[in-house]
Each structure stands twice: as C-alpha cells, then as structure tokens.
A and B are shown apart, each in its own frame.
Chain A
Amino acid sequence: DGGITQSPKYLFRKEGQNVTLSCEQNLNHDAMYWYRQDPGQGLRLIYYSQIVNDFQKGDIAEGYSVSREKKESFPLTVTSAQKNPTAFYLCASAGTSGSGFTGELFFGEGSRLTVL
C-alpha cells in the first residue's frame, strides 16, 4: 500500500547527541515536510522540500537539518543545538502538478523523541 513510513516510532536521546528521524514515502510526491508537535499545541513547520535536492527552512528550523537526495526520502536530524528537542515529530508529503499542490497532506504516524 502507498503511504509514508516514519521510524523509529519512539526514540530516546541523551543530551548532546544528534539523532536522525527517517521518513520514506512511496506516493511519488514531490513535496515533503517535517512538523513538530508539542502537547496541546498545533503543528509547527521545521523544514519543507518541494523537489529533490532543494529544501527551505520553516518557522522553527534552528537546531535541525535535513537532506533530500532522493524523491522518496526526507530525513530529519535533530542536532545537539536544538535546546528543547523533546516532542512529537510528523513527516508529511503532498502531490504537485505544474501549477502547484494537488490537494492534501499525507502524514506518517510520527516519531516521539524524548531527551533524557
């Protein structure tokens, strides 16, 4: 079945360590996104990519890095520079045509990161 797969579902990290969250999609979507969700809050955009080898910072990019070497993959690295990394991270993708987005976002099941 087509969809978005995030891994790991749960991750524990010690302070000072970098961690990488995986996001893979087989929907043939050009656009991919990373959001952060804190308890009781909405989603905040970290990074997004509209095409392979290109990505833009979102509203809270500091302390995070991404790459988009393949259309299917958009990994997120949470670096030690991120001061408060404990959160629920959501990856999403969207189809595009020549004139822009074709509709909605498709989300993965999320990765919950806890810093010990």
Chain B
Amino acid sequence: SQQGEEDPQALSIQEGENATMNCSYKTSINNLQWYRQNSGRGLVHLILIRSNEREKHSGRLRVTLDTSKKSSSLLITASRAADTASYFCATVTDSWGKFQFGAGTQVVVTP
C-alpha cells in the first residue's frame, strides 16, 4: 500500500511562477524525502527532511513538514522549463524501514 499521496496529480504553470505540491501520509515517519523523475528515467533525490524538522531549503526548493497533520509540501520557486518532471514524496517509517512512494505530481512548466 502507498504511504504517501501527492496532490495535485498534475500541475501546469508558466516559467517564473512558483509550483507547490503536497504529500500526505498515514503513519509516523523517520524522515520524508522528495524525488524528481524525468520521463522514462530513474528518480533523483532532491531533499530529505527529518521528523524533528519543520522546514528545509535547498536552492530553489523549500520543503515543509507538519507531523501533526502528517503532511509535507514542496515549493519550487521561479520555475524553469527544465523543472518539467514528475515529483514524488517518499516516507521512511524507521531507521531500517522501507521507502514508500506516493503516486507523484506531474509538473509541466511552459516557457
């Protein structure tokens, strides 16, 4: 069963705009991670946020985590056409646990 559920399923924006996507999960986690996948390729890790952290930044990425609501959000600021991809959240429920992925948000950034 999938632990994380992303919302929205798809997002279409123009270059320069911000893109926000959300991830909800069901059980307590050790950490939550966001990945990016270009069409037909493998996933690439973007950012990891631990259960005791509330916000994290990496370049144009900002991730928040609300453990009381069991949700996380990924914000991509000043989007570029090269940001077009699918974005997945993955939860890790304990130190040796399995990574569980959501269904992803497909983001299209038009020039």
A43 contacts across to B, CB distance below 8 A: 43, 88, 101
A77→B46 CA distance, assembly (Å): 30
* Nearest B residue to A109, CB-CB: B42
Taking a contact as CB atoms under 8 Å apart, the answer to whether A105 and B45 are in contact is yes
Taking a contact as CB atoms under 8 Å apart, the answer to whether A45 and B100 are in contact is yes
A88 contacts across to B, CB distance below 8 A: 40
Total A residues in contact with B, Cβ cutoff 8 Å? 31
Q: B2 touches which one: A42, A92, A107, A112 (CB < 8 A)?
A: A42
A109 contacts across to B, CB distance below 8 A: 41-42
Taking a contact as CB atoms under 8 Å apart, the answer to whether B101 and A40 are in contact is no
Q: B88 touches which one: A42, A44, A100 (CB < 8 A)?
A: A42
- When each residue 83-111 of chain A gets 1 if its CB lies under 8 Å from chain B and 0 otherwise, what string results? 00000101010101001110111111110
Q: A41 touches which one: B90, B99, B103 (CB < 8 A)?
A: B103
Chain B min CB distance to A22 (Å): 14
In addition to A42-B104, A101-B92, 19 A-B residue pairs with Cβ atoms within 8 Å of each other are: A35-B101, A40-B103, A42-B88, A42-B101, A43-B101, A44-B2, A48-B98, A92-B42, A94-B99, A100-B95, A100-B96, A101-B96, A103-B45, A105-B45, A107-B44, A109-B41, A110-B40, A110-B41, A112-B40
With contacts A33-B99, A48-B98 taken as known, whether A105 is within 8 angstroms of B41 at the C-beta atoms is: no
* Nearest B residue to A94, CB-CB: B99
Chain B residues in the interface with A (C-beta under 8 A): 1-2, 4, 30, 33, 35, 40-45, 48, 88, 90, 92, 94-96, 98-104
B95 contacts across to A, CB distance below 8 A: 99-101
With contacts A40-B103, A42-B101 taken as known, whether A105 is within 8 angstroms of B96 at the C-beta atoms is: no
Chain A residues in the interface with B (C-beta under 8 A): 4, 6, 33, 35, 40-45, 48, 50, 58-59, 88, 90, 92, 94, 96, 99-101, 103-110, 112
Chain B min CB distance to A76 (Å): 15
With contacts A42-B88, A50-B96, A109-B41 taken as known, whether A104 is within 8 angstroms of B33 at the C-beta atoms is: yes
